[in-house]
Amino acid sequence: MESESKMYSEEEVRDVLENIKSMVLLEGGYIEFLGMDAEGIVRLKIQGACETCPSASVELKRDIERMLCEQIPEIQKIIAV
């Protein structure tokens, strides 16, 4: 039996990320969309405002993942590269 979950488009992901990106840029951070797959995994390049603080990028990834998944529930996780 086929799954009935709604597929999301790259355009939907990019639109949500654009809204998030503006907030991240205001805080001095950076995100770049690198791709996604059919399993709900989105790849992003993420940099927090403090380049020397590894926890800043971890917290930023967590916040981006939360906001993105709220808007597009089909997303399973974010991979930061």
Q: Please give the Cα distance from 79 to 70 (Å, whole number).
A: 17
Q: Domains in the chain, please, with CATH? A: 10-80 (3.30.300.130)
Cα angle 25, 36, 53; round to 5: 40
Over the stretch 48-81, which tens digit does the pLDDT of each residue have?
777 677 677 788 889 899 999 999 999 999 999 8
Residue 8 binned pLDDT confidence (cut-offs 50, 70, 90): confident
Give pTM, 2 decimals.
Answer: 0.79
Residue 1 binned pLDDT confidence (cut-offs 50, 70, 90): very low
Confidence (pLDDT) at 75: 93
